[in-house]
Structure 1
């Protein structure tokens, strides 16, 4: 089954997902995996209108793909979990009504922690050392999982400013944790979370692919080239998009984000 893996969205879904849809059609894709971090962006945590527009776009888009018989797997990122558990971070939206809308939509979309595609283990940030995914990680989360989600979200490694030696599946840094603390039980992994300039493979630590190519600098310029990862029968290929050009044009025209409330 041909699968497209899509990096972190961070309130850019209305730009990124149409590009994904275009490439999915061209490549005859049957499955799409979204790596999480659908929300939160530099300087936009009070922009309720932006969150509402992006939330609605995400929900309608996912449902539309599923109605076309394309499997869409929505994974959880560290920016998403606080909206489920209520343990909000400094980078989270603080509007109470919006928080409830986000939580309801994440549950409606059937978000989960991990996915298995061909021989690859796919998650937001990756499984380190001897960490083994639990069976429920591959199914839609519900209220019975909130305590464990909260615990995983709090496990931040030193590479990301936390007190743990290494981070959890929501926090593992690709360069400083995932590769050095290589999980020999899962040598083939695909992750987002850590911004990369292009789809990155760490050959020294097995087949670890980083695909967070949509992240922005604090002044809203693209860090990565906006490439997607195509996976079929254990083989991977980068798929180019026009993301960087679109972002730069919107940035120069000052039309990237709505005005804050």
Structure 2
């Protein structure tokens, strides 16, 4: 059995189908999704439908992303959020115009059950964005940071690679877990389109919301498979700006 981690999907069902096929995913594989299933491309409702069905066959872990929480607020309360609308939510709102009330109810249930994080037996942490408390996830004062924080990744990027983890100057947050898998901040910001490893962190958001591919990675072997860039799969759409 493999354990496979999947980066931010952002409504790109075609890319999700591609990586599942290219990685030859079977029902024996454990699948850990890092969140942001929606917003950007036009198939956000279909992505959630696919994940609900997938969970029947596979051992799946679904982490909460910030865009997933924003969709939940909209579905439950029907409140307009201009910032969300301008950062991928527009495509989602338009897509849900064709979705039945019963399907929306199922999607709300799915979104309510998402996990803030997942920690496995080997002290490998899976989280959408990060955490800020130097003592770890169990001591976080502001749980929303689990899916909004960027400081963990920014710190790893800025870290002097010559500083050993035993050095007093080494950031304590980077010593708490053997590995940390995140999404949220696309590696395209540093001109990459493949998973990037800094310190103990693996960033698997390869820019699917924009012009990058979607990625699935085997956490034991670090082998990964990618879709075509989503701007090619959805050539008649603009995606996120």
Q: Give CA deviations for 1:110-151 in whole Å, capped at 9, x if unaligned.
A: 31111123431101012334253349x9xxxxxxxxxx9xx6
**Alpha-carbon distance in structure 2 between the residues aligned to 1:97 and 1:8:** 18
Deviations 1:168-223 (A, max 9, x none): 211222542456655122242100011112111113xxx21100014344xxx22x
Contact 1:83/1:102 (8 A) holds in 2 = no
**Which residue pairs with 2:9 in the alignment?**
9
**Displacement after TM superposition at 1:83 (Å):** 3.2
Paired residue for 1:228?
216
Select the structure that is richer in helix.
2
**Cα distance in 2 for residues equivalent to 1:38 and 1:106:** 13
**Aligned equivalents of 2:28 and 2:226: distance in 1?**
15
Structure 1 Cα separation of the partners of residues 35 and 104 of structure 2: 13
Offset of residue 26 of structure 1: 5.1
**Is contact 2:70-2:84 (8 Å) kept?**
no
Aligned partner (choices 239, 242, 253) of residue 224 of structure 2 = 239
State the partner residue of 1:163: none
| Corresponding residue SS for 1:25 | coil
Q: 1:199 touches 1:238 (CA, 8 Å); kept in 2?
A: no
> TM-score, with normalisation over the residues of structure 2?
0.68
Deviation at 1:237, TM superposition (A): 0.9
* Match of residue 128 from structure 1: 132
Partner of 2:167 in structure 1? Answer: none
- Residues 1:119 and 2:123 are matched in the alignment: yes
The answer as to 2:54 corresponding to 1:71 is: no
Conserved in 1, the CA contact under 8 Å of 2:14 and 2:233? no
2:202 to 199, 209, 212: 209
CA positional deviation for 1:7? 0.7
1:172 and 2:138 correspond: no
Q: Measure, in 2, the Cα distance between the counterparts of 1:182 and 1:16.
A: 36
Q: In structure 1, how many angstroms separate the alpha carbons of the residues matched to 2:224 and 2:26?
A: 9
Q: In the aligned structure 1, how far is the partner of 2:130 from the partner of 2:6?
A: 15
Structure 2 residue runs of 5 or longer lacking an equivalent are 160-170
Question: Does 1:194 find its partner at 2:185?
Answer: yes
Aligned partners of 2:206 and 2:214 also within 8 Å: yes
Unpaired runs of 5+ in structure 1? 45-49, 138-147, 154-167
Per the alignment, residue 54 of structure 1 pairs with 44
Q: CA RMSD in A?
A: 3.6
Distance 2:94 2:9 in 1: 22
How many angstroms apart in 2 are the aligned matches of 1:188 and 1:102? 35
- Alpha-carbon separation, structure 1, partners of 2:148 and 2:61: 20
Taking a change above 3 Å as real, the CA distance of residues 105 and 182 of structure 1, as seen in their structure-2 partners, is farther
**Separation (CA, whole Å) in 2 of partners of 1:241 and 1:77:** 20
